[in-house]
Amino acid sequence: MKLSKNIAILGCGWLGLPLAEHLSSLNYHVKGSTTSKDKIELIKSIKTDPYLIEVKENEIIGNHEFFTSIDVLIIAIPPRLKSNPERRHDLVVDRCIEVCIANNIKEVIFISSTSVYGNQSGNLNEESKLAPSTNSGKQLAICEQKLLETDDFSTTILRMGGLIGKKRHPIIQLSKKKYVDNPKGSINLIHLSDCISIIHQLLNKQITKNVYNCVTPYHPSREKYYSDMALLIGCNQPSFKDLNPIDRVISSDKIIQDLKYTFIVKNLLIFS
């Protein structure tokens, strides 16, 4: 295994851009892709090599030099099905698999979501069955399967909990709703700082075929947590109705044990 890996981040968005900045600051050679010309200078400013790339369902448009001479490809492009319900994210991943094989890329990290577990209750770990209920969750489950079944390279799947940080938090939307359901259900979130730290620690190892839940082991009820967050940031207190009761706790024990990982942001009462 190389001591210093060449990294390509496919998708310099909310997670990919600060990840690129962090890795570049540690003297990794990082390539970052974007679909927007307006973002090229921003990517350059964080000492990351910028590339215009758009992965479509039937082709990859842009500078394919992005995929050359790299050790690890991090796929950080979300399904974006809310804006385009007909989009086939599984076909997008098919194009990623093809380009990895063509360029002899041997290590891949794929950013997935705990939405692949659907609306199951109870304690869930990486061995729990997948039962996605949303279109996005269903497509991510298919993408995971395709990547793990590919023998030409190794993929580690990171099932991220609800992502918070950098002024991104569900309390903003919830405080505007008429009511919030499932008040007794546990939260399963993770802060951006821990997303980045987990990926960095994985890069210090050889990427293998593996799956990890990435959820902060802090699980107060939705009612308590979102009420406390509303007080913290000074927004309207959400109203709760005891509808659609589901209580699930998604375990991160595996990644804590395998990586000896200690979460940076422990109680998630933070808005930055």
We report the CATH number of the domain holding residue 105 as 3.40.50.720
Label residue 118 by pLDDT band (50, 70, 90): very high
Label residue 9 by pLDDT band (50, 70, 90): very high
Number of domains, the chain:
1
Per the CB < 8 A criterion, the answer to whether 212 and 258 are in contact is: yes
In a domain, 235, yes or no: no
Q: What is the pLDDT of residues 146-203, one digit of tens each?
A: 999 999 999 999 999 999 997 788 888 888 888 888 999 999 999 999 999 999 999 9
Whole domain around residue 36: which residue ranges?
A: 6-165+189-216+249-259
Per the CB < 8 A criterion, the answer to whether 239 and 180 are in contact is: yes
In a domain, 1, yes or no: no
Q: What is the pLDDT of residues 227-260, one digit of tens each?
A: 999 998 888 889 999 878 889 999 999 999 999 9
Pair of tokens at residue 12: 């310099």
In a domain, 230, yes or no: no
**155 has which bridge partners?**
108
In angstroms, rounded to a whole number, what is the distance separating the alpha carbons of residues 226 and 244? 17
In a domain, 193, yes or no: yes
Amino acid at 214: C
In a domain, 23, yes or no: yes
